Amino acid sequence: MDSRSRTLTILGSMGAVLLIVLIVLLCTYDGNKPPAQQPVPDVTQQQAVASSDAKSPLEGHLIGGNPRAFLNDPTFFDPVPNAILEAAMDMSGNLSLMVTSVEKDLRVLILNDAGELVTGVPFNIKLTDSNDVTTRYKDLDQDGIIYAGTLAAGDYDVTLDPVEGYRVPLHSTRVTVKDKVEYIPIQDISVLIKTEEEINAAQEDTANREDAIADSDNSEIITLQPGGNDHKAGIDVSSWQGDIDWDKVRESGIEFVIVRAGYRGSVTGAIVKDKNFDANVTGALNAGLSVGVYFVTQAVNEAEAVEEASAVMEMCEGYNLTLPIYLDVEGSNGGRGDQIDVETRTLVCEAFCKTLENAGVQGGVYACRYWLNNNIDASRLDRFNIWLAEYRSTPLYGGYYSMWQYTSRGRVDGIEGNVDFDILYY
């Protein structure tokens, strides 16, 4: 191309650009806009004009020259169907994870938007360690809880696999697996606590006193021993005693009561709250009795003992209890707690009491003479309260104890049937 042709091409291009600019200016020119040299009218005057009888396609949307006025007009946008609004607000399918570690383990709870365990769904999770090594776990019993044990200490990312009908978390949950148990109460333990309506109580509540009864002889005292200068007279109760008239109990000479908070299931290991716990604690306190509680263990390791201590403290929240919380250690007709050795059972007792101690709560252990002598290393529990069950006029147990259950065949006004009698020393 010669220079003359190049010049004509450039001039033509410039002309086309100028033409486009002119068209844009003409299209965007607002004839009602005041010239730049004129003062801008007062806003109140503009609003008055806009509210006059003059009709305009923009009336109600361009108020006082305000281009955002349409946002205040409820008729400007098309209405959103209720179905769309309800779908946007529906949280029922949202899932979240609560992950805890006690010692070289993880417990992953799958919760719905109400903070409840989601059951009946075959959830799968993926654990990824700091070396990007991945391990998968499945909720085999579909109880909404996945347990991973024997893990190496360190940081892990927990990811929930997609599940039809649910919205899983978009991001993984970072958690640190602890190397050593710290005996610290577990937060949000309430999601693990079940009612007796949720489990098979006949299969799960199987604790028995066979060894304590075997220790007894014909000298067992079945009448109430009154309190004195160095001891108090009391009873211990659970839902087995039914409804109780606590005023009559107090009038019978009872000064304190130890109430069963609950138990761990012998088969499934579920943590279950005694159905009469709240009624018994409230009734006893209102009657002016001193109150403590006990929990029947089926823990098979320290981690479960920490869970049990945490659960009992959760159940006792809000009550003014002045006596210790005891871990009830006894046989269960072959239940899961019967299968552990002496060392493990002793660690369970220590873990329960230390967790309470770290929370500023008094702890103790209940057991019969046979179990204290043969199934627990009681010498390691001297710093805690020992509640001895031995049905004789004078106990043969040679170790330390601060409370003595001397019969399971007591009778007292206000309670139908038999009840345990106890003496608390101070």
Instruction: Give the DSSP per-residue string, 396-410.
Output: ---S--SEEEEEEEE
Q: Evaluate if residue 14 carries a pLDDT over 70.
A: no
pLDDT tens by residue, 142-166: 999 999 989 999 999 999 999 999 9
Q: Evaluate if residue 56 carries a pLDDT over 90.
A: no
Q: Which residue has the higher pLDDT, 272 or 76?
A: 272
Listed range (173-187, 313-327, 356-370) with the worst mean pLDDT: 173-187
H or E stretch covering 148: strand 145-148
Instruction: Report the mean per-residue pLDDT for the chain.
Output: 86
Listed range (104-118, 221-235, 273-287) with the worst mean pLDDT: 104-118
DSSP assignment, residue 48?
Answer: H
Q: How far apart are CA 288 and CA 285, in angstroms?
A: 5
Q: Is residue 406 a contact partner of residue 420, using CB atoms and an 8 Å limit?
A: no
Q: Evaluate if residue 61 carries a pLDDT over 90.
A: no
pLDDT at position 45, please? 39
Q: Residue 209: pLDDT band by 50, 70, 90 thresholds?
A: confident
156 DSSP β-pair partners: 129, 175
Range 173-193 average pLDDT: 92
Q: Is residue 220 a contact partner of residue 407, using CB atoms and an 8 Å limit?
A: yes
Q: Residue 400: pLDDT band by 50, 70, 90 thresholds?
A: very high
Q: Residue 217: pLDDT band by 50, 70, 90 thresholds?
A: confident
Structure tokens at 35: 């010239």
Query: What is the dotted CATH code of the domain comprising 192-425?
Result: 3.20.20.80
Structure tokens at 130: 């700091």
Question: Is the backbone of residue 129 left (phi > 0), alpha (psi -120 to 50) or beta?
Answer: beta
pLDDT at position 21, please? 53
pLDDT tens by residue, 404-419: 999 999 999 999 999 9
Listed range (52-66, 98-112, 249-263) with the worst mean pLDDT: 52-66
Q: Which residue has the higher pLDDT, 65 or 133?
A: 133
Q: Evaluate if residue 218 carries a pLDDT over 90.
A: no
Q: Which residue has the higher pLDDT, 4 or 329?
A: 329
Give the strand order in the sheet containing 96-100.
96-100, 106-111, 145-148
Give the distance from CA 283 to its chain's centroid. 26
The backbone torsions φ and ψ at residue 194, rounded to the nearest 5 degrees and listed phi first, read -110, 160
pLDDT at position 71, please? 56
Q: Evaluate if residue 17 carries a pLDDT over 60.
A: no
Q: Residue 202: pLDDT band by 50, 70, 90 thresholds?
A: very high
pLDDT at position 214, please? 86
Listed range (59-63, 82-86, 157-161, 234-238) with the worst mean pLDDT: 59-63
CATH 1.10.357.10 fits 96-177, yes or no: no
Q: How far apart are CA 41 and CA 49, in angstroms?
A: 11
* 306-334 burial: b if 16+ Cβ within 10 Å, else e: bbbbbbbbbbbeeeebebbbbbbbbbbee
Q: Is residue 234 a contact partner of residue 423, using CB atoms and an 8 Å limit?
A: yes
Q: Evaluate if residue 63 carries a pLDDT over 50.
A: no
pLDDT at position 62, please? 43
Per-domain residue ranges of the chain:
35-86, 96-177, 192-425
H runs (alpha helix) in 237-335: 246-251, 277-286, 302-316
pLDDT at position 35, please? 46
Q: Which residue has the higher pLDDT, 149 or 390?
A: 390
pLDDT tens by residue, 264-287: 999 999 999 999 999 999 999 999
